Amino acid sequence: MATASKDGLPNVVPMTFVKVYDDEHLLIVDNFMEKSKDNLINNPYVAICVWSMEDKQAYQIKGKAAIHTSGQIFDEAVAWVKREMPVLQPKSAVLIEITNIYVCQPGDNLGKEL
């Protein structure tokens, strides 16, 4: 996941817990974020590259993030992580409102917006 500070300094980190939340959002669980979380507080825009196991394609997703530290979204994120890796202690749930999706797979559709 790529973020940027309010001054435009980029930061990119690998994410383990990423999934489609609904037709308009991705859910990312914050287990270790420091710089990324600071960036999201000051500049909520993100980009993330994901691999779809279903169609064997790579996608770049851009959007606006909202941080949740309590409530239903946070509770769902914690339950998900605890099922998969009980030793982790999620700090927040990041819900990304998707604004753009691009094909990242080499071929004729590379760079095409979906």
pTM (2 d.p.): 0.89
Q: How far apart are the first and last CA of the chain?
A: 19
- Residues 47-95: pLDDT tens digits? 999 888 888 899 999 999 999 999 999 999 999 999 999 999 999 999 9
Q: C-alpha dihedral over 75, 79, 80, 84, to 10 degrees?
A: 150
Class of the 2-103 domain?
mainly beta
